[in-house]
Structure 1
Amino acid sequence: MKDTINILVVDDEDNILEVIKAYLEKDKFKIYTATDGEEAIRIFKEENIKLIVLDLMLPKISGEEVCRKIRAVSDVPIIMLTAKIEEDDKIEGLAMGADDYLTKPFSVRELVERVRALLRRAYRDQNPLADYLVFNDGDLEIDVTKMKVKKRTKEIDITPYEFKVLLALLTNPGQVFTREQLVKKAFGIEYEGFDRTVDSYIKNIRHKIEDDTKNPKYINTIYGVGYKFTGSKS
């Protein structure tokens, strides 16, 4: 995992945020911080976040509710921080979708090790991507870190969900993904109606990056199976 990895740290105590941020930045992670639940959700929607360190006691929207909202659309790894020490509280936190749990006060070095381990487990099946990708001699450019896409050097308007689907295909160029696999890889969830949803995302992406949607050179349909990315990397 040598490329930049975005981590969101959410806590209403500035001193805790700064310490965690400093330690994680030593490991070359890119850190986003939020001091309340609303800000956390906004950042998650706007950035390509790979892991969240989430305090439960937050203003505006609680950490529990933030976790539920994110879990409704993504399986991004979440480490919960809390002052609650009872076993039932820990079980409840894990049940709502957290992947790991640390009780305050905690060792920041231990947190960093848990972040590393969780990232390894969560993304071990993904091929690493460069921060910036160019295809077909500059026809298509993708800034992975900033979640931006350019067509013939002109930035196009792409939604976070469309970008996640495109990125899922890019992790294994040439590999055919079923709709179920794309949902799992892009969003970490499986839900009723996913066939129509994925098809809609693919249709929108094609209209934005293809010269001829009937003869695509980037996202090809494998009839009866799914989709694959076929752009030539420059």
Structure 2
Amino acid sequence: MKLLVIEDEKKLAEYLRRALVEQNYVVDVAADGMNGLHLAREGQYDLILLDVMLPVMDGFTVLRELRRTSKVPVLMLTARDKVEDRVQGLRDGADDYLPKPFALSELLARILALGRRSGQNTAEISGQNVLRVGDLELDLLRRRASRTGIRLDLTAKEFSLLALLMRKQGQVLSRSELAEQVWDMNFDSNTNVVEVAVRRLRAKVDDPFDQKLLRTVRGMGYVLDAEGA
């Protein structure tokens, strides 16, 4: 899928670009409404992530102008989360609305949902639906995890953490990389939430089974693969 991010906050725009590229999306970024509208009209995008508070031309105006000629799905991302703002965005033609701050896992789930709803790139999306490492299987659309056919009961954060580790199977991911991808932009790096989440995930994914998939690499981070420890 090819995505357009229209966001003037540089840190957030770069965060989104990097995170979406990691998920194998092709991503373009525009820093103001006018440039974003131009790219949206000229490019062939499958989905647009659109901020409301933009320089030159605000997001609502961009959306109204875009809807004159295009039906491309638009997901609005904004700190303006009042009901009237959401209603205005939906009335102007937005397909979904996600208030800031948000977790990357929720954003990715909404992107998948909008992709399915629009019927675009169905084969590509379907190919990314199920992840497998050894006898561990993760169905991204049904939000189900299983090992040797046994259903694993995961929390939302554990599911997102496992999905990231499985996408990057065989690669050592640092604590900061996991935090940046699974938790939102306001993640407190001084907490031990990553270690706690990994420990709880391991208790469900590894402890009941003979072969261990999730390993700690001392001084570096965590890796999930079928080689075991």
TM-score, length basis structure 1: 0.50
| 3-state secondary structure, aligned to 1:8 | strand
Which structure 2 residue ranges, 5 or more long, are not aligned?
Answer: 125-229
Q: 1:53 aligns with which of 42, 49, 52?
A: 49
- Deviation of 1:85 after TM superposition, in Å, equals 2.0
Specify the alignment match of 2:93 in structure 1: 97
Specify the alignment match of 1:10 in structure 2: 6
Hey, what's the Cα distance between the residues in 1 that align with 2:121 and 2:22? 25
Hey, what's the Cα distance between the residues in 1 that align with 2:6 and 2:93? 16
Larger RCO (CA under 8 A, 6+ residues apart): 1
Where do 1:17-96 residues align within 5 Å? 17-96=13-92
* Offset from partner CA, 1:136-187 (integer Å, 9 cap, x none): xxxxxxxxxxxxxxxxxxxxxxxxxxxxxxxxxxxxxxxxxxxxxxxxxxxx
Large movers: runs of 4+ above 3 Å: 124-128
Distance 1:59 1:124, change over 3 A: closer
Hey, what's the Cα distance between the residues in 1 that align with 2:39 and 2:92? 21
Which structure 1 residue ranges, 5 or more long, are not aligned?
Answer: 129-234
Hey, what's the Cα distance between the residues in 2 that align with 1:12 and 1:99? 21
* Offset from partner CA, 1:185-218 (integer Å, 9 cap, x none): xxxxxxxxxxxxxxxxxxxxxxxxxxxxxxxxxx
The share of aligned pairs that are identical, in percent, is 38
- The two structures, once aligned, show a CA RMSD in angstroms of 1.7
Distance 1:120 1:96, change over 3 A: same
Distance 1:125 1:41, change over 3 A: closer
Letter in 2 for 1:62: D
| 3-state secondary structure, aligned to 1:49 | coil
TM-score, length basis structure 2: 0.51
- Deviation of 1:53 after TM superposition, in Å, equals 0.2
Q: 2:106 aligns with which of 106, 110, 117?
A: 110
